Amino acid sequence: MFEKFVIAYDHRVDLKYIERIKNYLQEKGLGYVVVDDNGETNDYPVLASIAYELYLKTKASGMILLCGTGVGMNVVANKFAGIRSVLPSEEGSAYFARNDEDANCIVFAAGKANDKYEVKICKRKMIRILDVFISTPFEGGRHARRVEQIGKIERGEKI
């Protein structure tokens, strides 16, 4: 299960989301490290890459990524070896992502309200989804075989 997360976000994210996540993780007794770009980059691929490097370096057990729509961070996260990232819109998707796919990265849409199409998630709902994600164990069994198949695809092996 999860013990420590790396959190990263881009410039479009309302910082109230980050505070809500940090408070939740503290309440659960879980550790976290936040990628702070100090305004140097607003590029989500760079921020996700920094998060992944930190994930490996600190031996974190998961990542939490946020960007305006969540889509960009999710696409990038799934390029990293061993990362199975999801962008759930409700609790059921978070549950099955953990139970079936052993997902270790969760992404949220948290754009500021001035975006043309506001797709950000409600902060309370985000925490409910995160809670399901964190508290759901990987079932294993037939799902372990499928996760291994995903690993083979990542490594360019035939499945």
- Catalogue the active-site residues: 67
Give the Cα separation of 105 and 152 in Å (integer): 19
Structure tokens at 112: 């500021």
For residues 135 and 51, what is the distance between their CA atoms, to the nearest angstrom? 22
Please report the DSSP string for the chain in residue order.
Answer: --SEEEEEE-TTB-HHHHHHHHHHHHHTT-EEEE---TTS---HHHHHHHHHHHHHHHT-SEEEEEESSSHHHHHHHTTSTT--EE--SSHHHHHHHHHTT---EEEEE-B-TTSSS--PPPHHHHHHHHHHHHHPPP--THHHHHHHHHHHHHTT---
